[in-house]
Amino acid sequence: MIAHAADSLMDAVDRLAAPVCVGIDPVVARLPEGLRQADVTTISAAEAIGSFTLHLLDAVAGRVPCVKLQSACFERYGHAGVKVLGECIAAARQRGLVVILDAKRGDIGISAEHYAAAVFGDGAGRGDDARPDWLTINSYLGEDGIRPFLGAGRGAFALVRTSNPGGDAVQGQRLADGRTVAESIAAVVASIGEDFVGPGGYSSLGAVVAATRPEDAASLRRLMPRQIFLVPGFGAQGGGVADVLPCFSAEGRGAIITASRSVIYAFEDGKGGWAAGVAEAAERFADEIGRAAGLR
């Protein structure tokens, strides 16, 4: 029997009492000195970020329940980068981590089905380990752009309220009925998500709701009680603990707070070995959010 994506994610969170995710956005120029090269070819750059990612996975495994791999950081290196991305997904799953692929795919019809097959491996010729558990998707094409990405064992986080300042011009606009555009999208996500609710009460259709928009989070939580919120914007983007609390349910569940740069580049403060610095930052992050949510 294929495990339900939301149940698997919530089980992983509960095991570690850590509702957090480490975002892995590797940039060659910011790699530790031993991995960084002044002049790299496409292939060696892909290999360098792959090596960095594997060390990151070792550093955070057992401390956080899941990781979010930024597809663009790998895709920019062509087939070499895509190959490394698949290897890193497999390595993360082998370490017991739930894997979110941050690719923000979005299309309709057969194109959406092709994108879904490429990510989740239906006919892609990849092993099960190289398939992510979750994918970020663009919900602004409506139902036609959401349903093709859902199915047995698949999870999708639909964009609802994003952290970028430019998103306000669209997502914050008021409709004739008084709702914001983001709230109208939330209603669509909640409705579709009802068809994919697991035994634990959460849907495998989740929602991206930014930590930098705490004023909207409470209303979006009311509109989407069965959605797991993937919450970007914490840490380096300015979101703090108080900002993310409205994303959780009253029981301190249903939200996964993400941090990327503040964890994976923690070694840049120059203290100690770089992998140890990442591990310490991941542990602090997990403890801070776990305590704030009342899980520790």
| Phi–psi pair at 110, nearest 5 degrees | -65, -30
Q: Could you give the angle at the alpha carbon of 257 between the alpha carbons of 103 and 285, nearest 5°?
A: 120
Q: Using CA atoms, how far apart are residues 209 and 81, in angstroms rounded to an integer?
A: 28
User: Which among 288, 274, 295 is positioned nearest to 58, based on CA atoms?
Assistant: 274
CATH number of the domain residue 31 falls in: 3.20.20.70
Instruction: Look at residue 256 and tell me whether its pLDDT is greater than 60.
Output: yes
Read off the pLDDT band of 188 (50, 70, 90).
Answer: very high
Active site residues: 104
Q: Using CA atoms, how far apart are residues 111 and 147, in angstroms rounded to an integer?
A: 12
Read off the pLDDT band of 107 (50, 70, 90).
Answer: very high
User: Which among 284, 280, 239, 275 is positioned nearest to 257, based on CA atoms?
Assistant: 239
Range of the domain at 140: 5-292
CA 89 to chain centre: 13
Structural domains counted in the chain: 1
For the stretch 148-178, pLDDT in tens is 999 888 999 999 998 888 888 898 899 999 9
